[in-house]
A and B are shown apart, each in its own frame.
Chain A
């Protein structure tokens, strides 16, 4: 059976996942992910149209707490963990391109 996965698929997925892969890694992952998906093909022939999917063992329900003020983490403590912070905020490289 041929791999259900192509090199371009893996390159696309890597971009979505914000990962940069070398040519060797692309080839290796195409092969390995293909094998895993091939194993998963034992599920594809099952007739499961009427089965309700389970995303969570007990079925999640909304859990709400009382709307009361509680102490939370101090802003300075949280910002101290950041690679870069400025004026009480997280700092990141530019998000937008230069103005034309």
Chain B
């Protein structure tokens, strides 16, 4: 499939049209969606209208944006006016949002064509997309394995060449881990870089929207289009979107990049081998390599699995059968609330709501939630010390390649460990990128993770591009 960059060039120059590019995307979706369960909803009419709008503008000689005519897949936890939005949950089945997320508005302004909503673990809680109420998504590279999660549908859409780019959200690794398992670029931007307005909240202090793509440049173009201050999100960074695509070829000469022991400890040997080789490539490209140990990172998993469920238990209190979504009748309001939530939420969502409710409840607050918030401070301080010595950090994205269906579903802790290398970045509000680099078991792709401080996206893309050039030869 053509890159987003190429499609936009062709549409702007008249070599192609947005409608032709959309037809190719829809054909690819129709060919494999039944098999892979990638899209929960394909917005064919809306996409055709958006594509025609782009083509009309080109015909009139008006300027069209940097994503002119580019089909984009949207994780189904982002609101798009009039388009069914479910979070892969029965509790929102059939709901159509009355407004659009800022990212959707910005995509349309950039000329992109949102084609539909992709599957996810219910309310983005999971690492395999097996927690969807509408069935799991299959990994296009090996349909007997998971695509990762929670943004598994968006990752699969790009991996199966249904769209060149997609949006996901990353609360503890939900973009980077599926990117690694599907052989894609996946970016978790700095907290606040992309507006969360219209992103259905899971854990508000950790959630961040970001891109999936096959090339570093496409990820940079997509992130540029959606980033920048938004008055509708009070946690949004004050400045406009940074220049990113102009810097992808900046290289790494003179950059200090630290291999972090805790970001490879426990990973499969083939994953570690890919990270080791990536370090060599960056060194050959002119980076100064050092090795660091950041023991605080080992506490990330424990802190995350109290903080994220605590925030989720609060955020998901809104699903009460009163204002939108499912209602199951009961004789009084409390019985109705309980019947609705019991029928509407799946097992993992209930598990996290209860964990969070427990961590926040009287008598346990200080011991669990309070302690986790202090560990979060320590993690932020530890990263600060690391970034005094290094410009970027490097490690694995996920401990293994894509795993078979059902292999972790009976043991929540085993599933949670899939995110052990990605969680620290969310807790610190910083930026990271997963780059497909090397292969492991059964020839499946391995992901190398580059981490940077807040607002380091341009440097991360430049380092990722060095690895990409080595892998792809261009």
Contact A18 B341 (CB under 8 A): yes
Cβ-defined contact, B375 with A46, below 8 A: yes
Which listed residue (B231, B358, B375) contacts A48, Cβ 8 A?
B375
* Pick from A36, A51, A54, A84: contact of B355, CB under 8 Å: A36
Whether B334 lies near A43 (C-beta < 8 A) is no
Question: Interface centre among B327, B339, B374, B429, by most A CB within 10 Å?
Answer: B374
User: Of B331, B339, B371, B380, which one neighbours A43 at CB under 8 angstroms?
Assistant: B371
Q: Which of A19-45 contact B (CB under 8 A)?
A: 19-21, 25, 29, 32-33, 35-37, 39-40, 42-44
Which B residues are closer than 8 A to A by beta carbons? 95-96, 98-99, 191-192, 205, 231, 234-235, 298-299, 301-303, 305-306, 313, 320-327, 329-339, 341-342, 345, 350-351, 353-355, 357-358, 361, 367-368, 370-378, 380, 412-413, 416, 427-430, 454
Residues of A in contact with B (beta carbons under 8 Å apart) = 5, 9-10, 13-14, 16-21, 25, 29, 32-33, 35-37, 39-40, 42-44, 46, 48, 51-58, 60, 63, 65, 73, 77-78, 81-84, 90, 92-95
Complex Cα spacing A9 to B363, Å: 12
Q: Which residue of B is nearest A38, CB measured?
A: B413
| A-B residue pairs, 9 tightest by C-beta | A57-B429, A53-B373, A83-B327, A63-B234, A51-B374, A48-B374, A81-B324, A54-B377, A54-B376
Give Cα distance in the complex from A73 to B454, angstroms.
34
Closest to B305 in A: A36
Given known A-B contacts A33-B358, A83-B321, A93-B329, A53 and B370 have beta carbons under 8 A apart: yes
Interface of B is mostly: helix
- Report if A19-B345 is in contact (Cβ < 8 Å); known contacts: A33-B354, A93-B335: yes
25 example contacts (A-B, Cβ-Cβ < 8 A) are as follows: A14-B354, A16-B357, A18-B320, A19-B353, A29-B350, A29-B351, A37-B355, A39-B301, A39-B302, A39-B305, A40-B305, A43-B303, A52-B374, A53-B376, A57-B430, A58-B192, A58-B429, A78-B98, A78-B323, A81-B95, A81-B323, A83-B326, A83-B327, A90-B322, A94-B332
Q: Contacts of B331 on A, CB cut-off 8 Å?
A: 93-94
Chain B residue numbers with a CB within 8 Å of A81 are 95-96, 98, 323-324
| Residue of chain A at shortest CB distance from B298 | A42
Q: Which residue of B lies closest to A65 (CB)?
A: B231
Known: A39-B302, A58-B235. A73 touches B374 (CB 8 A): no
With CB as the reference atom, state the residue of chain B lying closest to A35. Answer: B413
Contacts of B412 in A (CB 8 A): 32, 35-36
A13:B354 contact, CB within 8 angstroms: yes
